[in-house]
Amino acid sequence: MITVIAGGVGAARMLRALLQVIDSSEVTAIVNVGDDLELHGLRISPDLDTVTYTLADAINPETGWGLVNESWQARSMLEQYGGVSWFGLGDRDLGTHLYRTHRISEGADLTTVTAEIVSAWGLGLNVLPATCDRLRTMVTLASDDPSNDHFKSLTAGSEISFQEYFVQRHHSVPVSAVRFDGAESCQPGPGVIDAINDADLIVIAPSNPIVSIAPVLAVPGIRDALINRRNVVTAVSPIIAGAALKGPADRMMSELGHDASVLGVAALYKDFVSTLIIDSKDSRQKKAIQDLGLRCVVTETVMSKPGVSESLALTVLAGANL
């Protein structure tokens, strides 16, 4: 069995690549829930939905999130009323949040509801929230953020939720700290620790180390479980030649004092990862990564290029002689 520690877009692409070369019944994804939010009284789980929609080939290709063939009638009504519309919920996507919220109000946990949604999309893999308990990524601003017609100005030192940072303020403000509210009192979701202990191979997907992978590791028990299985843990670097393919991972690493490079990723991951896969653009860093005590595999990792996804998936699997 392969267990993938996953955030949003980059992880969804990695999972899609793996499912090209192994049966979905062999794959379990442990997905970040630190991006989750409650809005309009609805429970919204962006990374769970991005993984599900992508693997169901139903992701909105323009945005990388939400559903394809989407309409925005509900959102336009919110705009007409001056309601909250900065977080775009399409009419089809709303169905997912309505279903999830209703099932949770009936007493189902997030793992159960996620399994129902994943199977309704006809997917065979196991998608597990890192925790069913409340866990929210919070970021502290490193500088003042002037207001605009959507939101009030904030001074340096203010703490906001991940989505207020990422979407409302377009992650365009530097951060000085990241915190995972609720981490100390949450439990790993059902099946999560078993999926780590029983895996033949564990893959840290090319997601943002700071706000997609770290919140999963912050759930008590998960980091230790990965450390115990370090010899079968392989990570794919989300940073290529000092930059992230999408989103603020490189900037957040620098803003928080890490080196925004494959070496910085290796330093963040070395306690629980034994093999780091880096892009050929970073081949010069292989020796330095090995000196940190990790195996280092150099290959093409930009999955948007044709054929790279499958070859990368095979390279990842080779690490476990699968």
- Contact residues for ligand FO1 (CB under 6 A)? 7-9, 35, 46-47, 49-50, 65-66, 87-89, 93, 163, 166-167
Pick 51 or 268: Cβ nearer ligand FO1: 51
Taking the complex as a whole, the smallest distance from the CB of residue 109 to ligand FO1 amounts, in Å, to 19
Taking the complex as a whole, the smallest distance from the CB of residue 237 to ligand FO1 amounts, in Å, to 18
Pick 215 or 319: Cβ nearer ligand FO1: 215
Q: Which two tokens stand for residue 18?
A: 């793996």
Pick 87 or 99: Cβ nearer ligand FO1: 87
| β-strand partners of 299 | 279
Looking at the chain, how many residues does it have?
Answer: 322
CA-wise closest residue to 237 among 298, 290, 196: 298
Pick 135 or 289: Cβ nearer ligand FO1: 135
List strand residue ranges (DSSP E) for the chain, in order: 2-6, 27-31, 37-39, 42-44, 126-129, 136-141, 159-161, 175-181, 201-204, 233-236, 239-240, 243-244, 275-279, 295-299
Taking the complex as a whole, the smallest distance from the CB of residue 63 to ligand FO1 amounts, in Å, to 7
Pick 49 or 282: Cβ nearer ligand FO1: 49
DSSP of 72-137 = -HHHHHHHHHT---SS---HHHHHHHHHHHHHHHTT--HHHHHHHHHHHTT--SEEEES-SS--EE
Taking the complex as a whole, the smallest distance from the CB of residue 166 to ligand FO1 amounts, in Å, to 5
Pick 46 or 182: Cβ nearer ligand FO1: 46
Pick 72 or 300: Cβ nearer ligand FO1: 72
Whether residue 167 contacts residue 211, with contact meaning beta carbons closer than 8 Å, is answered with no
CA distance 150 to 29: 35
- Please state whether 111 falls in left (phi above 0), alpha (psi between -120 and 50) or beta: alpha
85's CB contacts (< 8 A; 6+ apart) are 75, 78, 79
CA-wise closest residue to 292 among 279, 310, 304, 276: 276
Taking the complex as a whole, the smallest distance from the CB of residue 75 to ligand FO1 amounts, in Å, to 9
The amino acid at 318 = A
Pick 62 or 106: Cβ nearer ligand FO1: 62
Taking the complex as a whole, the smallest distance from the CB of residue 175 to ligand FO1 amounts, in Å, to 15
| β-strand partners of 235 | 204, 276
